[in-house]
Amino acid sequence: MKHTLDAKRLLCPMPVIRTQDRIKSLSPGDVLEVVCTDPGALNDVPAWCRINGHKVLDTKTVDDEVFIMIEVRDDGEQA
């Protein structure tokens, strides 16, 4: 399933927190596209994914908007 998270206008670390909380409700294999306007998210969201075991499939920036595509993995967020 593909899901979208609108994290526009939020400043880091809020996009990370929203991503983390959203992923908790998703299942392994789901894809989440996070849309942000804080360019810092381009570093922070992938860093959070690496740490917590999810996979970043793609990132791009279009007109000041940052898109981060994440595949939810199994070993994320078990704690």
Partner 1 sequence: MSKQRKAVALISGGLDSLLAAKVMLEQGVHVEGINFFTGFCVEGHTHAIRKKDKAKPKRNNALWSAEQLGIKLHIIDVIEEYKDVLLNPKHGYGQNMNPCLDCKGFMVKKAVEWIKENDFDFIITGEVIGQRPMSQRKETMPIVQRESGAGDLLLRPLCAKNLPETLPEREGWVDREKLLDFSGRTRKPQMALAEQYGFKEYASPAGGCCFLTDKNYSDKLVDMWQHRSSRDYELDDIMMLKVGRHIRPNDNFKMIVGREQGENKFMEGYRKIYPYIHCSSHKGPLVLLDGELNDSDVELAARIAARFGQGRDADEVEMSVTYPDGKNTVLKVKPMPADEISEAWYV
Please give the positions annotated as active site: 12
- What the block records as the tokens of 36 is 């942000």
Q: Does 59 bind partner 1 (CB under 8 A)?
A: no
Q: Shortest distance, CB of residue 62 to partner 1, whole angstroms?
A: 16
Dist CA 9 CA 31 (whole Å): 22
| From 6, 28, 39, 61, residue interacting with partner 1 (rule: CB under 8 A) | 39
Closest among 2, 9, 72 to 35, alpha carbons compared = 9
Q: Does 1 bind partner 1 (CB under 8 A)?
A: no
User: Which range binds partner 1 by CB under 8 A, 25-33, 45-53, 54-62?
Assistant: 45-53
At 54, phi and psi to the nearest 5?
-105, 160
Interface with partner 1 (CB under 8 A): 9, 11-14, 16-17, 20, 37-40, 43-44, 47-48, 50-53, 64, 77, 79
